[in-house]
Amino acid sequence: MFFETIHQFKKYYGLDMYSLKELDRYLWLLGKKWFPRKDKGCTVGYYSQNITL
């Protein structure tokens, strides 16, 4: 189910050139940015500057 959803997401937004790993990392970092943990804060770090879609 997860892989099918990601495949449809890639196809819909024309992101076929990105691997599952790249999309997973991007979505994870985006989630950390928009939904930070309230107990520890959120520091996305170095990788957020290098991932653009």
Range of the domain at 46: 18-53
- Assigned domain for 53 exists: yes
- Assigned domain for 32 exists: yes
- Assigned domain for 11 exists: no
- Return the pLDDT at 33: 87
Give the pLDDT of the chain (53 residues) as one tens digit per residue: 888 888 898 999 999 999 989 988 988 999 988 888 776 654 555 555 555 55
- Assigned domain for 5 exists: no
- Return the pLDDT at 12: 95
With a CB cutoff of 8 Å and minimum separation 6, the contacts of 3 are 20
- Assigned domain for 27 exists: yes
- Assigned domain for 45 exists: yes
Q: Give the total number of structural domains in the chain.
A: 1
4, 37, 41 from 52: Cα distances, Å: 23, 23, 23
- Assigned domain for 47 exists: yes
Q: Write down the pTM of the prediction.
A: 0.56
Burial label for 44, CB within 10 Å (0-12, 13-18, 19+), is middle
Cα separation, 36 vs 39, whole angstroms: 9
